[in-house]
Amino acid sequence: MRGGQRQVMLLMQALREAGHECWLGARENTPLGNAASAAGFLVYGATACEVWRRSKHVTLVHAHDARAHTIAAIASRCQFVVSRRVAFAVRQSLASHWKYRRPARFLAVSHFVAAQLHSAGISREKIDVVYDGVESHACFGEWNSEYPAVALASADPRKGRDLVEEAAGLAGIRTVFSNDLLNDLRRASMFVYITRSEGLGSAALVAMSLGIPVVASRVGGLPEVLGDPSGILVTNDPPEIASAMRRIVQEPDLAHSLIEHGKRRIAECFTKEHLLRRTLASYGRVLDT
């Protein structure tokens, strides 16, 4: 599952633990739908007909991506909210204007995304910032500068794999491009998250929670995650990225400082409990009106 799908699963688990019943609308045979079904949640087809039929029997509908937003705007028979995770601007077509007037509230994944929603004409009073949460994980032992760097194995050109490859070559640091982040971070000297577009950066949160130093692009919502001194923020310039990577392996005191501040940052702002509390507060603003 991608980061946004993992957040849906994490939120549903937190809501259930807090005593709330959740149903999930998802496409058939998808990673999220399969995971939710295996965890005991009711999963039904994510179609307008199903939303029309089932929304009569629920308190609130929560749409988590653009397709779900469209379906809810067309078919929901109760109030609905929309999570907005992406960093690109809202379209300005007539259809988009109609669609974005429909939700009762927006849950923006960062202040950066909230500002984009506001710039598209959505009232600040309808926008809540709800950061991603991350489950607590046991750290994997002592940090070791001889471990490779880890980066995401994304084919998305916005994610900057080309910049990481060039920077790793300049730094002379072996880099693993991961499709299994939790496993590969077990033996990582750092996590390098270079991207041209980012709403927040849930992968960086995972690395920080595991005690791995993070080098990340100063774009989108990432500065809200890696406020100094929780990580090293860089421009998307390969020599600058390479310099930051070398600093981590050559300056153990810096690496350990980033690790400690990163874990503290997670505990202060990005736990599952924070995600649940902020989401329920947003739901409450809808249901109390």
Sign (positive/negative) of CA torsion 289, 67, 39, 42?
Answer: positive
Domain 149-269 adopts which CATH fold? Answer: Rossmann fold (3.40.50)
pLDDT, tens digit, 9 for 90 and up, residues 214-237: 999 999 999 999 977 899 999 999
d(CA 121, CA 100): 9
CATH numeric code, 3-133+271-287:
3.40.50.2000
Decide whether 3-133+271-287 matches 149-269 in CATH topology.
Answer: yes
d(CA 64, CA 42): 17
Q: What is residue 138's predicted lDDT score, i.e. its pLDDT?
A: 66
Q: What is the Cα 267 distance to its own chain's centre?
A: 16
- For residue 72, give every residue at least 6 positions away whose Cβ sits within 8 Å of its Cβ, in sequence order, or none: 51, 61, 63, 80, 82, 102, 103
* Of 136, 142, 152, the residue nearest 266 (C-alpha): 136
Low-confidence ranges of the chain (pLDDT < 70): 138-140, 289
Q: What is residue 139's predicted lDDT score, i.e. its pLDDT?
A: 67
242 by DSSP, 3-state: which?
A: helix
Cβ pair 110, 200 in contact under 8 A: yes
Sign (positive/negative) of CA torsion 214, 218, 221, 224?
Answer: positive
Residue burial 251-267, b: 16+ Cβ < 10 Å; e: rest: eeebbeebbebbbebbe
Question: For residue 56, what are its two tokens?
Answer: 């009569």
d(CA 6, CA 8): 5
All structural domains of the chain with their residue ranges: 3-133+271-287, 149-269
Global pTM exceeds 0.85: yes
Beta-bridged to residue 156, according to DSSP, are none
pLDDT, tens digit, 9 for 90 and up, residues 116-168: 999 999 999 999 999 999 987 766 678 999 999 999 998 888 899 999 999 99
- For residue 14, give every residue at least 6 positions away whose Cβ sits within 8 Å of its Cβ, in sequence order, or none: 133, 272, 273, 275, 276
